[in-house]
Amino acid sequence: MSKIDPAKIWSLNHRLLMAVISSVAADIAALGLETKELFVLAEVDEHPYPAELAASLCMPKPSVTLYVKRLEAAGFLRREIDTEDLRRHRLQLTPAGRKVMQQGTALLSEAYSERLGRLSAAQQSELRALLEKMI
């Protein structure tokens, strides 16, 4: 039995995710978003503080700041002073931001679903279990 190369598995996973993202990038752009901005919008409800958002997305803080500024200018995000700590800004999706986030997420989900459709139901279930175990 040959040794499994973890880097090869990682590379295959990365290629799959990038292929899915690339397949819908134009449709996401038509919503007025870059793909990374969509990921920012998708995490705001769970991580409403910019530093938390950066950590959650494994992005540099300056990049998150740039995306937040763009999303705020586009009317997709609102930055508010946190009433519990006046030194902090809390991010909140606007109704327009929630709408484009849901549309963009649906595009990614549909594209990924096409790839998952290549697997049987049992294989999909096994993949989910394996990914949960790895996380």
Strand, helix or coil for residue 5 = coil
pLDDT digits (tens, 9 = 90+) for 19-76: 999 999 999 999 999 999 999 999 999 999 999 999 999 999 999 999 999 999 999 9
The CATH number corresponding to 6-134 among 1.10.10.10, 1.25.40.420, 3.40.640.10, 3.40.50.300 equals 1.10.10.10
Residue 73 makes CB contacts below 8 A (sequence gap 6+) with: none
pTM: 0.86
The SS3 of residue 75 is: coil
Query: What is d(CA 87, CA 129) in angstroms, rounded to the nearest whole number?
Result: 41
Delimit the domains of the chain by residue range. 6-134
